[in-house]
């Protein structure tokens, strides 16, 4: 797969989102949840960046921050090299679709009305052209224009997700953040939606930030994959490399689990009470010697990400040992 070498469309630079934990009448701060902690990523026009990690690692918070539904506590997000905080246009340029499109569709509005509402609100076409554009958008997502007169409950899960995509496309975005959008669907319907996203990407040079807890799904669509653990990116690189030859012990565990191999990893790190050193160390077999002792550097220092290959980054102290461990 070739990716455009243009300058990045989206640049996420050392982004952090920490939530305060407050107690008592005076709402005293007693701690914080480090949902996103110093994440840097970029996405090019026409590229799909997959973001994968277990539930609670910060994926949704990251996506919501990019569309300004959540404010950052540190770092910045640039779109077209300008801070998103200063760009009004971002509301159109970047769209978010999430797992349950039904919750964002008004059950009393027909699908045509729901799409028409977006077209009118953003004045995408003059009022007399709304119906025609709505029909075209339904065709783009492989639904028929006649279905515009139906209500959301009359559609299947996969069709509702298509409607969600049509609504996002209505404003002619350049980047769509897809947050677990196929997670509730059967495997065959998942494949149809992934194919549709790929087709639309080719036609429109769209970029996607494709978020999922499932590495098997992400590898089907992403050009590059970023693996997130406890608010940080632990591995980043081209899909073939990350999925076929994972270097980080956490990516290796995710891959084994995607292959259906039973891996017992233990508890996910709690972002309100992160382990010292490498956040993955309590679950990492590579870090432990024969007696079960954790390597001291793993238990004390967070590993600095290292570029192991062109564009391939891994945050692990024991990278040289990784390959022999697989």
Ligand X SMILES: Nc1ncnc2c1ncn2[C@@H]1O[C@H](COP(=O)(O)OP(=O)(O)O)[C@@H](O)[C@H]1O
Binding footprint of ligand X on the chain (CB under 6 A): 19, 33, 35, 53, 55-61, 271
CB-count burial class (<10 Å; 0-12, 13-18, 19+) for 315? buried
| Residue 58 binds which of ligand X, ligand SF4, Mg ion, none (CB < 5-8 A, kind-dependent) | ligand X
Q: Report the residue number, 29 or 325, with the smaller CB distance to ligand X.
A: 29
In whole angstroms, what is the distance from residue 96 CA to residue 157 CA?
A: 18
Segment near ligand SF4 (CB under 6 A), from 16-24, 62-70, 140-148, 283-291? 283-291
Two tokens, residue 27: 């709402």
Contacts with 100 (C-beta within 8 Å, 6 or more apart), sequence order: 184
Q: Report the residue number, 165 or 211, with the smaller CB distance to Mg ion.
A: 211
Count of chain residues binding ligand SF4 (CB under 6 A):
13
Count of chain residues binding Mg ion (CB under 5 A):
1
CB of 249 to ligand SF4, least distance (A): 4
Contacts with 222 (C-beta within 8 Å, 6 or more apart), sequence order: 48, 49, 50, 210, 239
CB of 60 to ligand SF4, least distance (A): 24
| Phi/psi at 132 (5° precision) | -65, -45
| Residue 61 binds which of Mg ion, ligand X, ligand SF4, none (CB < 5-8 A, kind-dependent) | ligand X
DSSP bridge pairs for 16: 37, 74
**Out of 16, 48, 60, 95, which residue is the one contacting Mg ion (CB under 5 A)?**
60
| Residue 271 binds which of ligand SF4, ligand X, Mg ion, none (CB < 5-8 A, kind-dependent) | ligand X
CB of 61 to Mg ion, least distance (A): 8
DSSP bridge pairs for 227: 52, 235
**Out of 98, 155, 210, 280, which residue is the one contacting ligand SF4 (CB under 6 A)?**
280
Q: Does 232 bind ligand SF4 (CB under 6 A)?
A: no
Q: Which of residues 242-261 bind ligand SF4 (CB under 6 A)?
A: 248-249
In whole angstroms, what is the distance from residue 228 CA to residue 254 CA?
A: 11
Neighbours of 234 (CB within 10 A): 25
Q: Does 61 bind Mg ion (CB under 5 A)?
A: no
Q: Give the C-alpha distances (Å, rounded to integers) separating 7 from 4, 44, 66, 158, 291.
A: 9, 7, 18, 34, 49
Two tokens, residue 86: 């200063």
Segment near ligand SF4 (CB under 6 A), from 40-48, 51-59, 190-198, 278-286? 278-286
Looking up tokens 């012990």 gives 249
Q: Report the residue number, 121 or 270, with the smaller CB distance to ligand SF4.
A: 270
| Residue 280 binds which of ligand SF4, ligand X, Mg ion, none (CB < 5-8 A, kind-dependent) | ligand SF4
User: Which residues in 246-271 are b (16+ Cβ under 10 Å) and which e?
Assistant: bbbbbbbbbbbbbeeeeeebeebbeb
Q: Does 190 bind Mg ion (CB under 5 A)?
A: no
3-state SS class at 198? helix
In whole angstroms, what is the distance from residue 130 CA to residue 145 CA?
A: 13
Closest among 323, 324, 325, 317 to 245, alpha carbons compared:
323
| Residue 35 binds which of ligand X, Mg ion, ligand SF4, none (CB < 5-8 A, kind-dependent) | ligand X
Q: Does 284 bind ligand SF4 (CB under 6 A)?
A: yes
Q: Report the residue number, 64 or 174, with the smaller CB distance to ligand X.
A: 64
In whole angstroms, what is the distance from residue 307 CA to residue 323 CA?
A: 15
**Out of 45, 165, 281, 313, which residue is the one contacting ligand SF4 (CB under 6 A)?**
281
Footprint of Mg ion (CB under 5 A): 60
Footprint of ligand SF4 (CB under 6 A): 248-249, 278, 280-281, 284, 286-287, 298, 303, 316-318
């Amino acid at each position: 797969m070739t990716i455009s070498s243009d300058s990045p469309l989206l640049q996420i630079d050392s982004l952090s989102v920490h939530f305060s934990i407050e107690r008592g009448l005076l709402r005293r701060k007693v701690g914080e949840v480090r949902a996103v902690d110093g994440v840097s990523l970029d996405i090019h026009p026409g590229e799909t960046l997959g973001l994968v990690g277990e539930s609670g690692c910060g994926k949704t918070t990251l996506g919501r921050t990019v569309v300004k539904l959540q404010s950052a506590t540190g770092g910045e997000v640039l779109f077209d090299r300008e801070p998103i905080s200063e760009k009004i246009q971002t509301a159109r340029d970047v769209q978010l679709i999430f797992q349950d499109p039904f919750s964002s569709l008004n059950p009393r509005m027909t699908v045509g009305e729901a799409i028409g509402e977006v077209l009118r609100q953003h004045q995408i076409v003059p009022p007399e052209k709304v119906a025609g554009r709505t029909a075209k958008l339904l065709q783009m997502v492989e639904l028929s224009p006649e279905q515009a007169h139906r209500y959301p409950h009359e559609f299947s899960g996969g069709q509702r997700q298509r409607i969600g995509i049509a609504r996002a496309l209505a404003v002619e975005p350049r980047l769509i953040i897809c947050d677990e959008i196929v997670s509730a669907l059967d495997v065959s319907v998942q494949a149809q939606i992934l194919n549709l996203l790929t087709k639309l990407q080719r036609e429109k040079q769209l970029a996607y930030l494709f978020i999922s807890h499932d590495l098997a799904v992400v590898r089907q669509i992403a050009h590059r994959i970023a693996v997130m653990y406890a608010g940080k990116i632990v591995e980043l690189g081209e899909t073939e490399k990350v999925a076929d030859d994972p270097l980080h012990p956490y990516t290796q565990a995710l891959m084994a689990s995607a292959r259906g191999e039973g891996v017992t990893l233990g508890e996910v790190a709690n972002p309100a009470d992160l382990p010292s050193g490498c956040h993955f160390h309590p679950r990492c077999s590579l870090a432990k010697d024969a007696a079960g002792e954790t390597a001291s550097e793993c238990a004390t220092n967070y590993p600095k990400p290292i570029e192991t290959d062109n564009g391939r980054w891994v945050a692990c102290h024991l990278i040289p040992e990784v390959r022999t461990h697989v």
